[in-house]
């Protein structure tokens, strides 16, 4: 897979400190009590016709927030497990589907080296890092360094929301051939909703812009998956 595509898919998948109205950054992250029943966020990037789904569930007994990511073909691409603590959300496991390899559909479990996904009361910078190393692939390290930028306003389904904006600096190091790629992503988290928008920037400004367009219930998502399974093979 090309490094730029790996970065963008990873960014879509990953995606705080405030004195305004006594809110902390935690209030802008996904609200765990809302995900004890599965919800699915649909993101769309019209520039390239990309659609991605985030299937998210919170398990209160273990304080685990589990996200599975699917492409427009409803194929699972990535998953991430986050441990919810008093300080924030920490990555405990990360995996990806081998959609582009001979063993398609199987998930590869990657090694999490740095764990800080989202902190409740820190502006940053802070990081998480994943090591990609599997059969037939180069040894790669992908790191995201996050820094708070500003408070902004975003819109979803015709309503305006207070939001926080982060600058996410991504670096993909290919240890095997000593190559390195860097890109900047801006992530927007709306009060009470969580992540609603991501902008990936290349040398010429906004490269790709992905926005939350729909929130599905677990039942609606199950029906959508069932409709794919039930399609005849010649469709």
Residue of higher predicted confidence among 121 and 61 = 61
Considering the chain, what percentage of its residues have pLDDT values greater than 90?
51
- Model pLDDT for residues 147-167, shown as the tens digit of each residue: 999 999 999 999 999 999 999
What's the confidence (pLDDT) of residue 1?
46
Picking from 78, 6, 73, 70, the residue whose alpha carbon sits closest to that of residue 43 is 70
Q: pLDDT tens digits for 46-100?
A: 878 889 999 999 999 999 999 999 999 999 988 999 999 999 999 999 887 765 5
Phi-psi region of 158 (alpha: psi -120 to 50; beta: other; left: phi over 0): left
Write down the pLDDT at residue 119: 93
Residue 25, C-beta contacts closer than 8 angstroms, at least 6 positions apart: 16, 17, 18, 118, 119, 120, 121, 122, 148, 164, 189
SS3 234: coil
Under CATH, which architecture does the 3-225 domain have? Beta Barrel (2.40)
Q: Which residue has the tokens 């589907």?
A: 97
Greatest mean pLDDT among 97-101, 160-164, 172-176, 197-201 = 160-164
């Amino acid at each position: 897979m090309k490094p730029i595509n790996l970065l963008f898919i990873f960014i879509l998948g990953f995606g705080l400190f405030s004195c305004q109205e006594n809110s902390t950054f935690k209030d802008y992250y996904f609200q765990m009590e809302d995900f004890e029943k599965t919800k699915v966020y649909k993101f769309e990037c019209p520039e390239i016709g990309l659609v991605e789904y985030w299937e998210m569930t919170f398990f209160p007994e273990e304080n685990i927030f589990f996200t599975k990511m699917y492409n427009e073909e409803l194929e699972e691409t990535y998953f991430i497990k986050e441990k919810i603590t008093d300080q924030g959300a920490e990555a405990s496991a990360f995996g990806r589907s081998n959609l582009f390899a001979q063993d398609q559909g199987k998930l590869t479990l990657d090694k999490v080296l740095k764990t800080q996904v989202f902190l409740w009361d820190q502006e940053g910078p802070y990081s998480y890092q994943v090591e990609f190393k599997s059969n037939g692939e180069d040894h790669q390290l992908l790191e995201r360094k996050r820094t708070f930028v500003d408070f902004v306003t975003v819109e979803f389904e015709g309503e305006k929301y207070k939001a926080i904006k982060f600058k996410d600096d991504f670096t993909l190091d290919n240890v095997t051939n000593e190559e390195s790629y860097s890109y900047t992503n801006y992530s927007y988290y709306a009060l009470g909703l969580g992540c609603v928008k991501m902008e990936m920037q290349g040398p010429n400004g906004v490269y790709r812009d992905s926005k939350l367009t729909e929130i599905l219930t677990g039942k609606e998502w199950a029906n959508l998956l069932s409709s794919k399974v039930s399609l005849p093979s010649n469709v």
